[in-house]
Amino acid sequence: MDMGSQNPLKVLVVGGAGYIGSHVVYDLIRAGHDVAVADNLSTGMRAAVHPNARFYQADITRLEEITNVFSQEAKQGKKDGFEAPSSPIDVVMHFAAKLDVAESVDQPLQYYHNNVEGVRVLLDAMLLAQVKNIVFSSTAAVYGDPSVQEPIKEDTELTPINPYGASKLAAEQLIQWTASANDINYAILRYFNASGADDSLKIGLEKPKYTHLIPLAVRAALGLEDSLKIFGDDWPTHDGSCVRDYIHVSDLSYAHLLAADYLVQKQDSLLVNLGTEHGSSVKEIIAAVERLRLCPYQVVGRRQGDPAILIADAQKARHLLGWKAERTVNDIVESDMRYRLAADERSVLAWE
């Protein structure tokens, strides 16, 4: 996968201290882009931010804090051969959402405040700074529990079944309406299930409380969790466990670089799914982990807000961006396990 770019950009990554955001920052810098990161560190880690990225501790829901970031970046100009931009930033990338489905069911007000109001404030700040391009990290949760079982296309009916998915759909619509009224270009990228770690093993998924299946399974196999919980084994799937489309975080990250180039070069907008177009059940993920180590697990009741099957149709991303996922579920599991086994060989990322 070629990370090089013929068109270096100045990019602001909002939520760049989080899991996916930090991987995108690493890949942007590898590709020669000029990167600033804004994050309130409520769930992200300062230590996960690439040392060559400028960092601002700022809250996306506070207009004065975000406008200050744009103001400071306008003073920076572009360094090391970058031409001065007409606006302080070429492309904004948004990764600053709350994203725990179960938590969203318990705390819908907080999710709408952060995930919708935060996007409204960011768009307001972009308009004030005359920034014209935004890449938005969205989610397959906007589809809800589709009645169709084949891979999900972008025009599948949008019926989210939890506050997380509903808040992300509202944010998508807000971006689209604002873009239409103000000549902004957007790339809305609907992720399926991101997992894995960067090849450098310097960054991966680190959380005080894990909710993602693959790191939970790996941690159980390494003895860092008592056991993995399977939320129901009576779903209408081939083995009774939920089926998801798992995509390596580095494949996902690369799509953001392609999307940024698309916005700047084409001066047009797009909305695409990002997935492998292949589903794996919870039990199949356990089997992938057990290729490496035994994974203890227990079956518990279904979790509220979970659909049975979510698999992407990613043909549109292939057509518009020339992108496709390259890594397998086994690759994802192996990278996550290598990252956790390498913990003693690198500085432990401290929560701030």
DSSP lists the bridge partners of residue 230 as: 299
Q: Which tokens in the block code for residue 123? A: 């768009």
- Report residue 321 CA to chain centroid gap: 17
The Cα–Cα gap between 214 and 222 comes to 12
Residue 37 backbone phi and psi in degrees, to 5? -125, 135
- Choosing from 19, 112, 143, 164, the catalytic residue is 164
The identity of residue 321, as a single letter, is L
The answer to whether 99 and 209 are in contact (CB under 8 A) is no
Compute and round to an integer the Cα radius of gyration of the chain.
Answer: 19
Catalytic residue status for 143: no
Hey, is 13 helix, strand or coil?
Answer: strand
- Check residue 312 and report its DSSP letter: B
Hey, is 245 helix, strand or coil?
Answer: coil
Residues in the chain: 352
Residues carrying an active site annotation: 164
